[in-house]
Amino acid sequence: MSPRHVLLQQIGTDIVRFQDASADFDAAVGEVLALGRAELVCLAQLHFGGPAPMSAVARGTDVERLELAGYVRREAARGGRRLVLTEHAREWIETLWGPLSVDGMRLMEPLSDADLKVVAGFLTAARAVQERHASRLSKLLDTPGGSPAARRRGGLSAAALSRVQLFVEAHLARRIRVGELAKRSGLSVFYFTRAFRQSTGMTPHAFVQQRRVERARELLSHPAHSLGDIGLAVGFSSQSHFTTVFRRVTGLTPAVIRRSVAPR
């Protein structure tokens, strides 16, 4: 494993831990304020963006609950009503989020303007990547493989198939056992394998390999990633294994695909 690959793995691990820590912090704030995630998002939007039309309030937000708690109020505005943050809410925000903001600013003090531009650019690009993949995963929920007709023929339900597909997407970088997939469907390995093939037209193993190849094709457009690193990133044990499976699925080698998508 190259030093770069080790570093990228460490960054990936740290990002996941950062997300977990952020979720823990938000959960603690929610406990203190007796609010759910949607309500916390609404408070943050009002704090940073100012008063907002009722139509712009985050979906799932219990506005009445926020009003009863004294965190927001409705007021007349051009074109309808808008939601405004109360001073009571601002005091709580300063108490709960203020120290975190101060520590965050202290962390960034040693960074130059050029460094900050790199960080800002990375975060913008990373958010776009997350949004794109969130959209990709949401489309799996509309897959036709789990239709009632498929279930009558012995296939998986739409919900079970989606759970399996989402699990595969989230774990392509490591070995995926059929038993893990069967567990997501609530079936034994034997019945799951048969039902999965009925729903998708392929075995679980073939599906995982296909998804690895499709993910690899996306990564091949980034010249900074070597073929070996891409193979490891999508779960192949070696570059030769990656090349063999890729050629079997697409009819071409990864190197040929890379040359075809390389900037000219």
- Both tokens assigned to 235: 């779960």
Q: Give residue 152's pLDDT.
A: 46
Q: Give residue 85's pLDDT.
A: 93
Q: Give residue 146's pLDDT.
A: 47
Q: Give residue 220's pLDDT.
A: 87
CATH class of the domain at 210-261: mainly alpha
Q: Give residue 207's pLDDT.
A: 93
Q: At what angle do helices 239-250 and 204-219 cross, to 10 degrees?
A: 100
- Rounded Cα distance between 243 and 236, Å, is 9
> 1.10.10.10, 3.40.50.720, 2.60.120.10, 1.10.3720.10: which CATH number matches 25-108?
1.10.10.10
Q: At what angle do helices 113-140 and 158-170 cross, to 10 degrees?
A: 150
- Rounded Cα distance between 256 and 220, Å, is 10
Neighbours of 76 (CB within 10 A): 8
**Virtual CA dihedral for 78, 81, 85, 87, nearest 10 degrees?**
80
Q: Identify the segments of the chain with pLDDT beneath 50.
A: 144-148, 150-152
**Virtual CA dihedral for 230, 235, 240, 245, nearest 10 degrees?**
-100
Q: What share of the chain is helix, strand, coil (3-state, %, to 5)?
A: 70, 5, 25
List the domain boundaries for the chain.
25-108, 111-140, 141-201, 210-261
0.85 surpassed by pTM: no
What pLDDT, in 10s, does the model give residues 95-119?
A: 999 999 999 999 999 999 999 999 9
Q: How far is CA 103 from the centre of its chain?
A: 26
Q: Give residue 154's pLDDT.
A: 62
- Both tokens assigned to 155: 């296939």
- Both tokens assigned to 120: 């800002």
